[in-house]
Amino acid sequence: MTIPLPIETERLLIRTFEAADVDAMAEVYGNPEVMQHVCVGVLDREGTAALLQEYRRAQDERGFSTWAVVEKASGTVVGDVGFGLYAPTGEPELGYTLATAVWGRGYALEAARACVAAAFTHLPQRRLVAKVEPENARSLRLAERLGMRTVETIAVDGRPHLLLALERA
């Protein structure tokens, strides 16, 4: 099954990453404040280009991936949202990374809600998961606002993370 793109919300367009997105995302992924809770850590332009290529490959292979978040009003790529694959169970794993310039505008929640709705409409999995470091209060609050609940504490690269899950209604 494939999640059809683009996904549109009131203020955002969610689409597959394009080669032209590398510079905008290198700014996001190169910011230590943004990346402090992301497992891959801070990325340079080359690392960003490789990651975006991996996201495009995953979309082709799985039918879902991490996608570009574009602010409709400006046409600017402001971050990412979408699903990786949670290896232990094979379930879609929700993630989101946004530029600090748009923090506090509700974009992450708006984009994540749209992605969750699309996943439950188009994918066969009955559950979505997310991994959040306990001290990442903003991300934890967002996951909880989506209806996700903590299932267990797991270790990721030696650091504790909460595994949250949302069941299909």
Residue 145 counted as domain residue: no
pLDDT at 169: 83
- pLDDT higher than 90, residue 157: no
Residue 44 counted as domain residue: yes
pLDDT at 23: 97
pLDDT at 77: 98
- pLDDT higher than 80, residue 36: no
| Both structure tokens of 2 | 């494939």
Count of domains forming the chain: 1
Q: Identify the weakest region by mean pLDDT among 23-37, 43-57, 90-104, 115-129.
A: 23-37
- pLDDT higher than 90, residue 163: yes
- pLDDT higher than 80, residue 41: no
Q: How confident is the model at residue 25 (pLDDT cuts 50, 70, 90)?
A: very high
Domain limits for position 36? 7-124
Q: How confident is the model at residue 42 (pLDDT cuts 50, 70, 90)?
A: confident
- pLDDT higher than 80, residue 101: yes
CB 89 within 8 A of CB 125: no
In the chain, % of residues over pLDDT 90: 88
Residue 142 counted as domain residue: no
pLDDT at 31: 79
Rg of the chain in Å (alpha carbons): 15
- pLDDT higher than 80, residue 39: no
* CATH at 85: 3.40.630.30
Residue 53 counted as domain residue: yes
Residue 155 counted as domain residue: no
| 29-50 average pLDDT score | 83
pLDDT at 133: 93
Residue 113 counted as domain residue: yes
User: Which has the closest alpha carbon to 104: 78, 81, 129?
Assistant: 78
